[in-house]
Structure 1
Amino acid sequence: MKVNLGIVGAGIASRELHLPALRRLTELFKITAVNSRTRRKAEEFAKIAGGDVEVFDSYEEMLNSDVVDAVVLAVPIALNPQMIEAARKANKPVICEKPVAATTKEAIRLLHLPGNTPIYIAENYRHIEVYRKAEILIKEGRLGKPLAFSWLKWVDFGQDNKYVQTKWRQTPQHIGGFISDGGVHDVAALRKILGNVEEVSGFSEKNFDYLGAENSAVFNMTLGSNVIGNYSVVYGAPASLNRFEIVCTEGIVQVDKDEATLEIYSSDREKLFLNKTDGFAEEFTDFHRVLEGQINSLGSVEEAVMDLATIEAGLISAKEKRVVRVDSLLNES
């Protein structure tokens, strides 16, 4: 079954992340329509995409058209819930870029929408091979029981960075700016490998006005699997670093996303070289499987809500100077 897709939002994600992936999946998808904030951007995207791509002046017009079977949302985060809801009302399946919403409270509303057309939250980190292999390694027990983790992430986003230059990111309506925008990626991978986060004790700072919100965070976490750990991130750092380590009873594994390697320290030292993937083609392929009736386990709203709630718990903890249980956000919402 080839699915006709309508692209909503002709910005960086659609042009540089989704389009290359969809060009690898022409047996599964065809881009037939585009809508964006301005007609000029939509027309530019249609030209880049090639083929017979219809430009729509409104999202509602696209949803009510027979030109598309499903829509791809790559819009400002705060707009996600209302646009997902509109797609559900129009009985159009939707794949939407993460985070699912600006806050956990807004995200939870999506769990209770009437109807059953698929809603798929496009979290590509759940599809990246190095993280999937790390999950298998841990769950097979090869290194014994996991005890603790450390994730250090420095991101060299200067004022000229293309994401920083995005207007809606300069005055973010979503919690924590880049801390949630990028942080849900890492939490998705963390949860897939080690399980759900239960409590967060956080610290955060806003060091640079140009990043719009908090740009530095340290989150100390406890997980349901009796694992403890630390996630530390700085946006606007002078250099980049992405170091993720898991300590187990019988060894340590270093997970390197950028190099797609797992370095294992146990009775023997071993380095595994995996395929370098960004996960976008894989997530669209999985979306297609869901459209054909497969259970949505990797792109569900429930998973996206947990990712966002984990980050929000850390940000609340930093503000209120208390330990925050992740499930308290789910109950309050």
Structure 2
Amino acid sequence: MPPISVAILGAGIFARIAHLPALRKLGDTYELKAIYSRSQSSASELAKTAEDILARPASSFDLYHDAGQNLDALLARTDIQAVIIVLPINQQPSIVLKALEAGKHVISEKPIAPTVKEGVKLIKMYEAHYKDKGLIWRVAENFEAEPGLRAAGKAIADQKIGKVCFWNMQVLNNVETDSMWYNTPWRTVPEYQGGFLLDGGVHSAAALRTVLPSKFTELAGFASLNREHLAPHDTIHAIIRSEDGSHGIFELSFGLPSSPGHDSFRVVGTDGTLDINRYHEKDPETQKDQAFIKVTIKNAKTGQKEEIVERSCGVERELENFAAHLNGHDDGLGTPQGALQDVSVIQAALDSHGRGVDLQHLILSAD
């Protein structure tokens, strides 16, 4: 198939360190034609980074910004098939609709929207006005696409630990004021619920959704702020129940007072346990850190132990799957409905105050 002509909307950190390297890994799958950012300087900086990563002159990427040829001009181009939207959380829903209205296929960064209500509205607009026109919209949730997490989900579906009984996920992060993730204006003073808990926490919710076999039904939890620079909240603790009767503890914090953080996920079944851990190793060629996901499966009945190790490459996989969908092969990855469930988990944990929240009702009542 010929390369998919694509534009990147947004020139921030994740476009630079994740999407451009993923496009390089995918070779001729995509052809990056244009870059949009609010300012000319940020669009130019991303073009320079793309020159290094994609081995093409910066001048080969057409630049659009609000002080010159703007987003409307980019979206009017008939030679661009799809857009990768990597913009601040509050801006994304309107830009998704703008791109769809211009006839572009869309893959937009997580979360789907700042709230469940806005996510539901966005999905309804897509299904009512654009889906039947053949336009494809996917949400880029890289944890859902991680081969290691998908392998863990398959192992559980294959009954390698029997029926799931309970689970525990603990994700503790340290975000200081000098962090590159903190030092962006829209994150420093977030105009959306939860701050980093929404921005980063949907990844953990997506991991739960990818690995566990049954849809969540109810959540009860508490949220708190422990470090003032991470307002409005930096920590949530929740108990979640699923349709199959299993339940677990979800502990998420960006307010750890020191590094390194901690990341663990254990699922206990009737016949054994499954553990998921992340770790880093230096690539022997580049000497750069490479992240890996290790899945350890222990069957208590047979005594058998199995380990699965996969390179962390979720952004690469999500873009690969998006391209496959555009070429007629849909494996169901990155659906807006799945991303909406992730937001519902975070929103419920923020709003629970110890009371049970019906997660299905939270989504249905937002209609």
Q: Is TM (by shorter chain) over 0.5?
A: yes
1:54 maps to: 62
The counterpart of 2:319, out of the listed 279, 284, 308, is: 284
What percent of counterpart residues are identical?
A: 28
The answer on 1:165 being equivalent to 2:165 is: no
2:287 maps to: none
Deviates more, 1:37-46 or 1:11-20: 37-46
Q: What CA distance in whole angstroms lies between the structure 2 residues aligned with 1:331 and 1:203? A: 23
Q: What CA distance in whole angstroms lies between the structure 2 residues aligned with 1:296 and 1:77? A: 26
1:141 maps to: 159
In structure 2, the residue corresponding to 1:257 is in which secondary structure? Answer: strand
1:7 maps to: 8
The answer on 1:153 being equivalent to 2:171 is: yes
- Paired residues, what number? 331
2:110 maps to: 98
The counterpart of 1:130, out of the listed 129, 148, 154, is: 148
The counterpart of 1:261, out of the listed 290, 294, 302, is: 294
1:314 maps to: 349
Q: 1:179 corresponds to which letter in structure 2?
A: L
Deviation, structure 1 residue 191: 1.2
The correspondence of residues 1-333 of structure 1 with structure 2, limited to 5 A, is: 1-50=2-51, 51=56, 52-57=60-65, 58-113=70-125, 114-116=129-131, 117-194=135-212, 195-237=214-256, 238-239=258-259, 240-258=261-279, 259-265=292-298, 266=300, 267-268=302-303, 270-295=305-330, 297-318=332-353, 321-333=354-366
Q: What CA distance in whole angstroms lies between the structure 1 residues aligned with 2:293 and 2:143? A: 12
Deviation, structure 1 residue 270: 2.0
Deviation, structure 1 residue 269: 5.1
Q: What CA distance in whole angstroms lies between the structure 1 residues aligned with 2:154 and 2:37? A: 40
Q: What CA distance in whole angstroms lies between the structure 1 residues aligned with 2:183 and 2:240? A: 32
- The alignment's TM-score, normalised by the length of structure 1, stands at 0.96
Q: What CA distance in whole angstroms lies between the structure 2 residues aligned with 1:128 and 1:25? A: 16
Deviation, structure 1 residue 166: 1.4
Q: What CA distance in whole angstroms lies between the structure 2 residues aligned with 1:295 and 1:275? A: 23
Given that residues 129 and 274 in structure 1 are in contact (C-alpha distance below 8 angstroms), is that contact kept between their aligned partners in structure 2?
no
Deviations 1:84-112 (A, max 9, x none): 00011111011110001110100111212
Given that residues 70 and 92 in structure 1 are in contact (C-alpha distance below 8 angstroms), is that contact kept between their aligned partners in structure 2?
yes
Deviation, structure 1 residue 257: 3.1
Deviations 1:261-318 (A, max 9, x none): 1222323252414122231111100000111123361111111111111211111103
In structure 2, the residue corresponding to 1:274 is in which secondary structure? Answer: strand
Q: What CA distance in whole angstroms lies between the structure 2 residues aligned with 1:227 and 1:169? A: 35
Can you give the 5+ residue segments of structure 1 that lack an aligned partner in the other structure? none
Deviates more, 1:47-56 or 1:257-266: 257-266
Deviations 1:4-42 (A, max 9, x none): 111111010100010000011121101110010211110
In structure 2, the residue corresponding to 1:87 is in which secondary structure? Answer: helix
Deviates more, 1:10-19 or 1:187-196: 187-196
Given that residues 153 and 241 in structure 1 are in contact (C-alpha distance below 8 angstroms), is that contact kept between their aligned partners in structure 2?
yes
Deviations 1:127-153 (A, max 9, x none): 112111111111111211000000111
